[in-house]
């Protein structure tokens, strides 16, 4: 660097960093809304390449924080609506099914729009073949 002659180390460092702005797509910040203690919070993640971005967007990360918050809020509202509809439909269940639903609800602190199906035991007796 012939034009660096006579410059101090500080001036050389400043010259290196005082360059015109050039847009670079990566690294890029992505956002995802999550529910923490009853409130929607926005998590941040930095991706360094297009491949990382594709993997992250496939798992729910979005390019804007307000968009991430809106998506999580809508998801939580839909979950609450589905759980309320399930509670309404539970009224028409048999007493045994209502007891099973109540036991499942007591085991979880979250809204549950569906109760997982319990495996049924077979009542068939095995026959021994000689």
| Domain extents in the chain | 21-107
Burial of residue 23 (CB within 10 Å: 0-12, 13-18, 19+) is exposed
pTM of whole model > 0.75?
Answer: no
Is pLDDT of 121 > 80? no
CA atoms 84, 89, 91, 94: torsion sign? negative
pLDDT (tens digit per residue) in 7-44: 889 988 888 888 888 899 999 999 999 999 889 999 99
Burial of residue 72 (CB within 10 Å: 0-12, 13-18, 19+) is buried
Q: Which residue has the higher pLDDT, 54 or 20?
A: 54
Q: Which residue has the higher pLDDT, 69 or 87?
A: 69
CA distance 4 to 16: 11
- Do 104 and 115 meet the contact criterion of CB atoms below 8 Å apart? yes
């Amino acid at each position: 660097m012939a034009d660096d002659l006579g410059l101090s180390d500080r001036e050389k460092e400043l010259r290196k960093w005082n360059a015109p702005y050039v847009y670079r797509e990566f690294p890029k910040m992505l956002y995802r809304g999550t529910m923490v203690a009853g409130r929607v919070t926005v998590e941040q993640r930095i991706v360094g390449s297009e491949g990382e971005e594709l993997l992250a967007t496939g798992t729910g990360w979005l390019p804007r924080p307000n968009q991430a918050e809106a998506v999580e809020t809508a998801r939580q509202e839909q979950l609450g609506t589905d759980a309320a509809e399930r509670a309404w439909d539970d009224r028409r269940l048999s007493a045994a099914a209502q007891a099973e639903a109540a036991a499942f609800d007591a085991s979880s602190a979250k809204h549950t729009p569906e109760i997982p199906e319990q495996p049924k035991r077979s009542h068939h007796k095995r026959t021994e073949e000689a």
